[in-house]
Structure 1
Amino acid sequence: MVEVLSANACDMRSNAKTTRVVGARQLATFRLICWAITLWLGGWQAWSGRYAMGSDGISYLDIGDAFWKGDWGAIINGYWSPFYPCLIGGAVRLISPSPRAEFPLVHLVNFVIFCVALAAFDLLLRELSAWRQWEGNDTWPPALWMMLGYVLFLWTTLDLIDLKIVSPDLCVAVFVYLAVGLLLRLARGEASLRNRLLLGATLGFGYLAKTALLPLGLALLAVYAARCSAKCALVAAGAFALVACPFILALSFSKGAITFGESGRLNYAWYVNGVTYRHWQGETAGPARHPTRKVMEELPVYEFGHPVGGTYPLWYDPSYWYDGVRLEFDPARQTKRLFTSLKFFYGAFLNLHVKQLAESGALPRLISPALFALIFCFSIGRWRAVLTGAARAWPLFAPAVAASLMYALVYVETRHIAPFAALFFLGALGSVPVAGRSRERAAKVVVPVIAAAFVFTLIVSFSRAEAATPDWRVAEKLRQMGLPPKAKVASLKYANPAHTGWARLARARIVAEIYSGAFRADENDFWRADEAVKKRALCAFAAAGAVAVISHGMPPESYPAEWRPVGETGYFIRFLSGSEQRCVERSKG
């Protein structure tokens, strides 16, 4: 009898072990499927936007170029952080692509970063699952939890960040996910020296990717010290300082004052204090030490060809042109900015205007209200358990709340807070109890429906994307028309972003422009002026060193013969010669 019972017990243990192995294999297969779908969608978005490039990306490319060509000081930039320019500049230096292939190469680098971000997020999910089990709060079936996690990654990365945008925000996501994953590991007691040093180094490299991660990293370490171990946090802070301090010292020496980056100051000046967005002359919050040079009054013509380098010097290092700006705390302006940020958060995360979202191609934004509804429905009757779970999820909520508040005080875009939105929803969903047969059955129906609907809206959104004229076509036509490399050109309007892409590929420099406002999309100030004023503007462009003036679109009437169409790109060029150059010579005489 004893032998029979012993044999039955052995069979039960064997069956349980077999069930766990089969379950683990099924979960691994499901993870591979999630990876395949995620990589396919990410690759599709990167390919569809392979020719897209904004002026931020141009500045990063210019800085990376200068660095890899031996100008080591190029990365000591007051506004742009060094990590991302080094990555894309290194790729361009290694491959030496043609103008046509340069922007697609940058998007290939972005896709590689996307893959690394996916791996970092997967690590975060694993650490979160281990931490939830350690906390005794494992509320979701593993497959559903994984599905929710990858939906969050797709939403925050492909919709909120968007691979078509060339920016370091994907790098930020990598470091945020790694840092929080390590924090969860430390919080559950695995506080080895290696893990502490890794946390600090990760936060340090995150700061090198984006200035905002310095205050956020310090806040995260402070919360960890308060909740867990001040000694462990101090070791991590030491590693953080070891990575971050060399750049802080070099930047401070360059600026002549202690600073860890000027991007926060400048954005506060622009968006809270109301300082002129471009071509600040020190009229408010001054004095301006290095203003751009206004060379004409009838038309607001500005020249900025030196001493800053880059394709578009005005945006290569904005901290130079705004040196001397003073910040002022104004309660009324600060309150207004907070209300503006609250409206932004509503539009990004709670917008239920389906028709409006569909017309604007932002239908994937509906995932956020759907997740809020899911959280609310599964929390009914279990509010105390939800609040208890939320209190335990401080490693997720602390960085999410800190980042949201920091950006809300100054200026916020979806790409800024994308990884923190993922952390918030992971914490909120992880706090929801799904125990009980009826709740689990409901979750097994609702979650796949939400996931499938979201992937479908992503596909629809990608399919509706409209392709603009690639910048390489404009650059190629301009070279055929005789625009030489390193040529200096001028613009009839604010050149950002209409001219920065092709100028980079043509290796031209924009040194002057007519600036009537950052959000003026037309060139009518020039075309409506009388002929004498137009001639003086062209002379001013020539005096700035420009050899040609570029127009993006012409008036509806027939254009003057001096303006030549740049193929069928919608651009026009007027080479400055003859009378304009003689005008400059006379003014010098």
Structure 2
Amino acid sequence: MKATARGGMRMVWGYAALLILLACGYAWVDAYVMDGDGTAFMDIAAGLVSGHSHLAINGYWNPGYPALLAIGRKLAHATFSSEYMVARWTNVFIFSATLFISIFFVSMLARLRQRFAPVDSVPALSERTLQLLALSLLGMSAGRELPITAVRADTLLLALLLLAAALVMRLLTEAELWIYPALGLVLGLAFLTKSFAFLPSVLLLVALFIAAVVRRKSSATQRVLPVGVIAAGALFALTAGPYIAAISHQLGHFSTGDSARMNYSFFVDQTPRWHEWFHHDLGHAGGTFVHPEEAVMSTPPVFSYAAHPVGTYPLWFAPAYWTLGLKPNVWPHGHVVRLVRCSELLVRFLLARPEPFVLLFALLLAGGARWPASRQGWSWAAMPGLWGLLMLGIYYPVDLQDRYLTAPFLLVVLTLFAVLRQSKPDEARPFSASFALVVLFAGLIAAQAVTYQLETRRENSVRGISHGRDTEVIPAGDALVAMGIQPGDNVACFGGKACYLDHYWARVAGAQILEEVESPDDQPALPYWKTLNNTAAVQAKLHELGARVLVARFPEVAAKPAGWVQLGHTEFFALPLDPSLKVSLAEDR
């Protein structure tokens, strides 16, 4: 049995090593993924490295993930053009840590099962088999909703939530006092990674305190449990409190993060996402804006962000600042609409990930597994399962995205597999049907990743792309640098693609988008520009405000627009506003 256990552990560690290699493969060949969230995180990370730590005080973006990006940036001496690849390798490190945390999480889940599950039945999946399954599910997520190439905080948050759940399960089996401050610290770090973690962390600590008070007379050890939970709460407060105080001071009201306020307005009250104040359209929300962006022209709408010039694109970097005063209202019809929409998204998420459910049914039908027949067989697993459902319940009424669902999904699914019992116990079989099915599942996940990476590498070779490098946004930023744009320069953007979807070009050039020309109602930028009869006045106003260039993305342009300069061989075009810019150098890129 010991030899079998050692063999199972070697397989677990070997598969973890394989997944790390596959994560490196994703970082090396996978497609460019960057959005406004990633640009904001890059801004904060660069601020932490350069001594502008005030950028980390933000009512929308938390500093935990940018802090790791800052470490990677510092170690690699990253430039504006190379920082994206550094972020990919930072994500590989985070993913690797998540794998090890998942192994620990399953060990604690298995220990909890051994302590409280019925003794008259045998688990269908051993601890090593469950660990292999957990690693497989993480490998599946890395190729889907949590891509290595995305500059987002969700994988780091997942790791911390899994670690917190593991520590709680350790507490339920061994009341070791050191775990309490460790738990408080981990929950505090989870909050610093994403403000969403505040509510499930507080509810978890409250539930632990109630359980500790109820059980404190059971034994001498358990009498100190309430003190331990108070210590956990104190460490959580010490970790999260200074940041809460800082953002509350910045926003002028108590806040653990204003993302909930804004998301409720956007998704339930149907407040338009951008320029709500200028268009006088708040949906079913209300309030008076404290810091509205300055509208310097009405036709076309031209906005200035010079009043709060922080971040590459201040409107996205500091949405809590620009929407301060927007107050959501309870709108029952909006809730019904969102519940229907979120239900659709949840079903779509589950249907897109059928593999674990196919495995579950295979175990029940042919793998010799069954559900527990007694309440005791289920109740021991309440902590991880219910905590996962609580996280789902927090997201569910307002907004669901695939990346939000990974932590609830893993907590619930792994718990479901852990409670399975053998229908015909036979502990002498080292290679049971359940173990074989999980090994097959793990192999399929790895094979999918290898196939995808080989195919992506082939496509990159055909298209002349090296290491998954972007062919549009980063080259456009490099072309602006060749044109003469310098770090800290004021630039303007035009249209939804250049302003909202792909504004990382400005960060690559080291510039700030302090002016924006809006293309109303998401109209294609170039056709709208051609309808304007005051383009000279627009250029004069932008030049007056200090913008050196106006940048837009014109997809599939047959002929170069008059006055615009193509940035290399990309779909991005620049309208020079400063005569000193070297136009020919940008076109030659």
- Normalising by structure 2, report the TM-score: 0.85
Corresponding residue for 1:220? 204
- Please list, as runs of the form range in 1=range in 2, the aligned pairs for 1:350-499 lying within 5 A after superposition: 350-351=351-352, 365-371=353-359, 373-374=361-362, 377=365, 382-385=370-373, 388-436=376-424, 441-463=432-454, 465=456, 467=468, 468-469=470-471, 471-494=473-496, 495-499=498-502
TM-superposition CA deviations, 1:118-138 (whole Å, max 9, x none): 121111121112222122463
Aligned match of 2:218: none
Q: Are the structure 2 counterparts of residues 449 and 70 from structure 1 closer, same or farther at C-alpha, using a change threshold of 3 Å?
A: closer
Q: Report the residue type matching 2:476 in the other structure.
A: V
- 2:180 matches 1:184: no
1:409 alignment partner, SS class:
coil
- Is 1:260 matched up with 2:262? no
**Pairwise CA RMSD of aligned residues?**
2.7
Asked if the contact 2:98/2:156 (under 8 Å) is kept, the reply is yes
Partner of 1:67: 48
Structure 2 counterpart of 1:424, one-letter code: V
Instruction: Indicate how the Cα distance of structure 1 residues 574 and 43 shifts in structure 2: closer, same or farther if over 3 A, else same.
Output: same
Contact 2:339–2:397 (Cα < 8 Å) also in 1? yes
Provide the secondary structure at the position in 1 that maps to 2:354.
Answer: helix
Secondary structure of the residue aligned to 2:204 is helix
Per-residue CA distance 1:513-537 (angstroms, 9 max, x = gap): 233468x38314533414x233333
Query: Is 1:144–1:444's contact at 8 Å kept on the other side of the alignment?
Result: yes
Cα deviation per residue 1:197-217 (whole Å; 9 max; x = unaligned)? 111111111111110111011
Task: Give 1:577 shift.
Answer: 4.5
How far 1:147 sits from its partner (Å)? 2.3
Distance 1:527 1:472 in 2: 24
The structure, 1 or 2, with the larger RCO (C-alpha pairs under 8 Å, 6+ apart) is 2
Question: Contact 1:51 / 1:104 at 8 angstroms: preserved in 2?
Answer: no
User: Which digits, 9 at most, give the CA deviation of each residue in 1:491-510, with x for residues without a partner?
Assistant: 22023454422211211111
Where does residue 105 of structure 1 map in the other structure?
Answer: 86
Query: Quick one: distance in 1 between partners of 2:213 and 2:29?
Result: 47
Q: Which runs of 5+ in 2 are unaligned?
A: 215-225, 461-467, 580-589
**1:198 is the counterpart of 2:182:** yes
- Residues 385, 528 of structure 1: CA spacing in aligned structure 2 closer, same or farther, 3 A cutoff? farther
Q: CA deviation at 1:346?
A: 0.5
Cα drift, residue 471 of structure 1: 3.7
Query: What letter matches 2:249 in structure 1?
Result: F
Aligned ranges for residues 225-240 of structure 1 at < 5 Å? 225-227=209-211, 229=213, 231=226, 232-240=228-236
Tell which deviates more after alignment, 203-212 or 131-140.
131-140
Pairwise mapping of residues 131-210 of structure 1 onto structure 2 (< 5 A)? Answer: 131-136=112-117, 138-188=123-173, 190-210=174-194
Instruction: Quote the offset at 1:181 in angstroms.
Output: 0.7
Deviations 1:426-446 (A, max 9, x none): 111111223426998442443
Instruction: Provide structure 1 residue ranges, at least 5 long, that are not aligned to the other structure.
Output: 1-18, 352-364, 579-589
Aligned to 2:508: 505
Distance 1:378 1:542, change over 3 A: farther
Q: Is the 8 A contact 1:84 1:209 kept in 2?
A: yes
Match of 1:126 in 2: 107
> Percent sequence identity over matched residues?
24
* Number of aligned residue pairs: 543
- Cα distance in 2, alignment partners of residues 250 and 477 from structure 1: 38
- 1:41-77 per-residue CA deviation (whole Å, 9 max, x = no partner) reads 2111122248533221111121222233333322111
Q: Sort the Cα spacing of 1:512 and 1:368 in 2 relative to 1 into closer, same or farther, 3 A.
A: farther
Cα 1:521/1:404, change in 2 over 3 Å: farther
Question: Shift of the alpha carbon at 1:226?
Answer: 4.1
Name the SS of the counterpart of 1:160 in structure 2.
coil
Q: Distance in 2 between matches of 1:141 and 1:570?
A: 54
Deviations 1:182-209 (A, max 9, x none): 0110011x12220111111111111111
**Which residue in the other structure is 1:310 paired with?**
311
| Offset from partner CA, 1:10-35 (integer Å, 9 cap, x none) | xxxxxxxxx42x12321221122211
TM-score of the superposition, structure 1-length normalised? 0.85
Whole-Å separation in 2 of the counterparts to 1:577 and 1:251: 38
Larger radius of gyration: 1
From the superposition, tell whether residues 400 and 476 of structure 1 become closer, same or farther in structure 2 (CA, over 3 Å).
same
Structure 2 distance, partners of 1:242, 1:553, is 49
